[in-house]
């Protein structure tokens, strides 16, 4: 490799293609394992199937087939792949990996403040952690990551340009920011952060304010309009899912704004972020369960914070304005339990980690070359840890059919059902995608559709269910449901901690 890759500047196309090819090989194991379409993934697959057939996205698993409430961009992106390859999940996961590799290409091209080789090591670390896991999961994380990388790059170019529209960077930024809000709801924060970034222009403050206002209006309007229709009340504290006491159970009520309860959630989520953010750099879905494991991640969190403020003090880019807005919304949500909320930030997290490590080494060694080499060594060490983890990863997890008792139960008991039956089960989306039999959830917590289509309303309107399938862990919730409805389970069966039975004639609620 030529010496120029160690200097400031751009990589040539052959070098970029070489490293992207290696990263493609790295993601290959995530394409082929037998896929289990759990919860949100099953919902996206149903929407993709509808779009591929020329229909509006629906919750096909529900007997009434209500309209889907999930953001549409991921479904629109993958629908052509579904149509071309007959719904093959390998093809869909290949498409998601291609989105990540395209994001890497943008990183190599537009992180021009970093020497080329540094971009390579940062991309390897970014692509070998939780990003690697989500290249093989049919959800919105990877498409959102691509769109946000492109949007932030366009915002940076727009702000630097002399002309108002920036030679096309302005329209590109507007379109990409609007798409981000239609890919994930939290993408609306990209419009907020980008607007503040553009407005923060002391040299051309009038232009900055105009560009910021334009971005805020165009970036927010499509997403706000969509979610106001598909999720009524989402922007009202009294009804928003963000303000639920229990994110999975709307029946437990809402948290009031400016309350001690909300302050407690903020404190809890900030503390959780100190482990989830660095954990997202590794091949993990969750932070370590042990106290020692969680404490071991805190030094990395400190380096991330130092790196962020170091970038802010030197020359803040659009990402440095976006991140606080993203975290501000994330910290009030009731679902902050997985690394995936930080997976979409990983390219910037690895950059902040490098910056923070370099700053610390510089304070100790007092020599810039030594500090840079030390920071690079830390990045390479963490990437090496991830590569070892990838080499040992067996895909025996919640997303795979390998040794999956839930998937085995769905396949087994589907043989006992009539295709016209409606089943109450733990994950109705996965059950339908595997068996083609309609299903609903027996708990309030997993109702991924609006109140008129939830189980109580469905039963009140004369709906019927014919069987129930649940794990031992849900036995108490199922017992309460059966008692409330006056139902009895006929011919109960049990295998590997999963229980099945047909339901007798039900009485109305």
Do 90 and 166 reside in the same domain of the chain?
Answer: yes
Do 311 and 432 reside in the same domain of the chain?
Answer: no
Report which of 127, 154, 131, 129 is spatially closest to residue 144, judged by C-alpha positions. Answer: 131
**pLDDT score at 365:** 86
User: Over 348-406, what HEC string results?
Assistant: HHHHHHHHHHHHHHHHHHCCHHHHHHHHHHHHHHHHHHHHHHHHHCCCCCCCECCCCHH
- Please name the helix (run of DSSP H) or strand (run of DSSP E) that holds residue 135, with its range, or none: none
pLDDT band (50, 70, 90) for residue 8? very low
Structural domain span for residue 238: 3-32+71-392
**pLDDT score at 242:** 86
Do 355 and 254 reside in the same domain of the chain?
Answer: yes
What mean pLDDT is reported for the chain?
90
pLDDT band (50, 70, 90) for residue 6? very low
Q: Does residue 157 lie within any of the structural domains?
A: yes
Query: Lowest-pLDDT range, 24-28, 84-88, 242-246, 385-389?
Result: 242-246
Strands (E), 406-462: 422-425, 438-441
Q: Does residue 59 lie within any of the structural domains?
A: no
**pLDDT score at 169:** 94
Cα 325 to Cα 193: distance, rounded to the nearest angstrom:
6
Mean pLDDT for the stretch of residues 184-205 = 93
User: How many separate domains does the chain show?
Assistant: 2
Q: Own/partner pairs for 199-206, CB < 8 Å, 24+ apart?
A: 200/321, 201/159
**pLDDT score at 54:** 94
- Please name the helix (run of DSSP H) or strand (run of DSSP E) that holds residue 21, with its range, or none: helix 13-27
Mean pLDDT for the stretch of residues 210-239 = 91
Q: Does residue 398 lie within any of the structural domains?
A: no
Q: Does residue 369 lie within any of the structural domains?
A: yes
Cα 103 to Cα 114: distance, rounded to the nearest angstrom:
16
**pLDDT score at 217:** 97
Mean pLDDT for the stretch of residues 126-155 = 96
Do 340 and 225 reside in the same domain of the chain?
Answer: yes
Do 366 and 423 reside in the same domain of the chain?
Answer: no
**pLDDT score at 455:** 87
Do 79 and 180 reside in the same domain of the chain?
Answer: yes
Do 149 and 292 reside in the same domain of the chain?
Answer: yes
Q: Does residue 161 lie within any of the structural domains?
A: yes
**pLDDT score at 234:** 83
Kindly state the tokens that stand for 166.
């920036």
Q: Does residue 221 lie within any of the structural domains?
A: yes
Residue predicted with more confidence, 119 or 5: 119
pLDDT band (50, 70, 90) for residue 447? low
**pLDDT score at 347:** 94
Mean pLDDT for the stretch of residues 64-69 = 90
**pLDDT score at 15:** 79
Do 439 and 339 reside in the same domain of the chain?
Answer: no
pLDDT band (50, 70, 90) for residue 2? very low
pLDDT band (50, 70, 90) for residue 392? very high
Give 405-419 pLDDT, tens digit per residue. 999 999 999 999 999
Mean pLDDT for the stretch of residues 220-248 = 87
**pLDDT score at 231:** 85
* Residue 218 pLDDT > 60: yes
**pLDDT score at 484:** 87
* Residue 196 pLDDT > 90: yes
Cα torsion 467, 247, 224, 47 to 10°: value is -30
pLDDT band (50, 70, 90) for residue 236? confident
**pLDDT score at 505:** 59
Q: Does residue 44 lie within any of the structural domains?
A: no
Do 219 and 163 reside in the same domain of the chain?
Answer: yes
Do 372 and 421 reside in the same domain of the chain?
Answer: no
Cβ neighbours for 259, distance < 8 A, ≥ 6 positions apart: none
Give 302-359 pLDDT, tens digit per residue. 999 999 999 999 889 999 999 999 999 999 998 888 999 999 999 999 999 999 999 9
Do 369 and 246 reside in the same domain of the chain?
Answer: yes
Q: 78 with 466: CB under 8 angstroms?
A: no
Cβ neighbours for 138, distance < 8 A, ≥ 6 positions apart: 35, 37, 41, 44, 45, 48, 78, 89, 92, 93, 96
* Residue 446 pLDDT > 70: no
* Residue 37 pLDDT > 70: yes
Give 462-496 pLDDT, tens digit per residue. 899 999 999 999 999 899 999 988 899 998 999 88
Query: Lowest-pLDDT range, 8-17, 72-81, 189-198, 425-434?
Result: 8-17
- Residue 485, domain CATH: 3.40.50
Question: Any alpha helices (H) in 258-345, and if so which ranges?
Answer: 260-279, 291-314, 318-330, 340-343
Boundary of a domain, candidates 367, 392, 417: 392
Give 81-124 pLDDT, tens digit per residue. 999 999 999 999 999 999 999 999 888 877 766 777 788 888 89
Boundary of a domain, candidates 349, 369, 392: 392
Query: Based on C-alpha coordinates, what's the Rg of the chain?
Result: 24
Pairing of strands 438-441, 422-425: parallel
- Ordered DSSP codes for 45-109: HHHHHHHHTTS--B-TTSTT-PBP-S-SHHHHHHHHHHHHTTT-HHHHHHHHHHHHHHHHHHHHH
Do 323 and 296 reside in the same domain of the chain?
Answer: yes
**pLDDT score at 35:** 97
Boundary of a domain, candidates 333, 364, 392: 392
**pLDDT score at 312:** 93
Residue predicted with more confidence, 360 or 453: 360
Q: Does residue 47 lie within any of the structural domains?
A: no
Mean pLDDT for the stretch of residues 275-283 = 97
**pLDDT score at 116:** 74
């Amino acid at each position: 490799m030529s010496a120029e890759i160690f200097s400031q500047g751009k990589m040539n196309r052959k070098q970029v293609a070489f490293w992207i090819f290696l990263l493609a090989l790295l993601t290959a194991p995530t394409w082929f394992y037998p896929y289990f379409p759990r919860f949100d993934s099953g919902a996206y697959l149903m929407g993709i199937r509808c779009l591929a057939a020329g229909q509006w996205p629906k919750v096909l698993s529900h007997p009434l087939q209500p309209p889907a409430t999930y953001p549409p961009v991921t479904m629109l992106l993958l629908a052509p792949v579904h149509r071309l390859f007959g719904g093959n999940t390998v093809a869909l996961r290949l498409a998601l990996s291609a989105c990540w590799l395209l994001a890497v290409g943008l990183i190599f091209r537009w992180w021009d403040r970093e020497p080329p080789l540094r971009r390579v090591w940062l991309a390897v670390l970014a692509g070998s952690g939780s990003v690697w896991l989500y290249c093989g999961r049919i959800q919105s994380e990877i498409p959102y990551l691509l769109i946000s990388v492109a949007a932030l790059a366009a915002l940076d170019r727009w702000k630097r340009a002399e002309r108002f529209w920036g030679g096309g960077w302005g329209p590109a930024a507007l379109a990409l920011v609007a798409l981000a809000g239609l890919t994930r709801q939290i993408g609306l924060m990209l419009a907020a952060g980008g607007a503040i970034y553009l407005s923060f222009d002391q040299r051309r403050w009038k232009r900055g304010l105009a560009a910021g206002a334009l971005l805020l209006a165009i970036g927010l309007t499509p997403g706000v309009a969509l979610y106001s229709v598909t999720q009524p009340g989402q922007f009202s504290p009294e009804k928003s899912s963000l303000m639920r006491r229990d994110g999975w159970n709307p029946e437990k009520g809402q948290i009031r704004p400016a309350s001690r309860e909300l302050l407690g959630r903020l404190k809890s989520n900030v503390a959780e972020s100190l482990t989830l953010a660095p954990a997202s750099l590794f091949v993990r879905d969750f932070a370590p369960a042990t106290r020692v494991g969680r404490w071991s991640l805190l030094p990395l969190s400190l380096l991330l914070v130092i790196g962020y403020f170091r970038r802010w003090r030197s020359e803040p880019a659009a990402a440095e304005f976006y991140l606080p807005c993203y975290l501000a919304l994330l910290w009030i949500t009731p679902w902050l339990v997985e690394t995936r909320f930080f997976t979409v930030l990983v390219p910037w997290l690895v950059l902040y980690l490098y910056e923070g490590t370099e700053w610390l080494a510089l304070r100790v060694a007092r020599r810039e070359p030594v500090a840079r080499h030390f920071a690079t060594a830390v990045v390479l060490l963490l990437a090496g840890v991830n590569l070892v983890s990838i080499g040992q990863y067996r895909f025996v997890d919640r997303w795979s059919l390998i040794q999956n008792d839930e998937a085995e139960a769905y396949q087994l008991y589907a043989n006992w059902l009539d295709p016209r039956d409606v089943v109450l089960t733990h994950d109705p989306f996965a059950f339908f995608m595997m068996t083609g039999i309609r299903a609903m959830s027996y708990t309030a917590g997993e109702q991924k559709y609006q109140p008129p289509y939830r189980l109580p309303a469905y039963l009140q309107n004369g709906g019927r269910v014919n069987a129930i399938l649940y794990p031992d862990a849900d036995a108490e919730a199922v017992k309460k449901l059966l008692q409330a409805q006056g139902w009895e389970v006929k011919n109960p069966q049990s295998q590997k901690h999963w229980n099945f039975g047909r339901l007798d004639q039900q009485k109305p609620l």
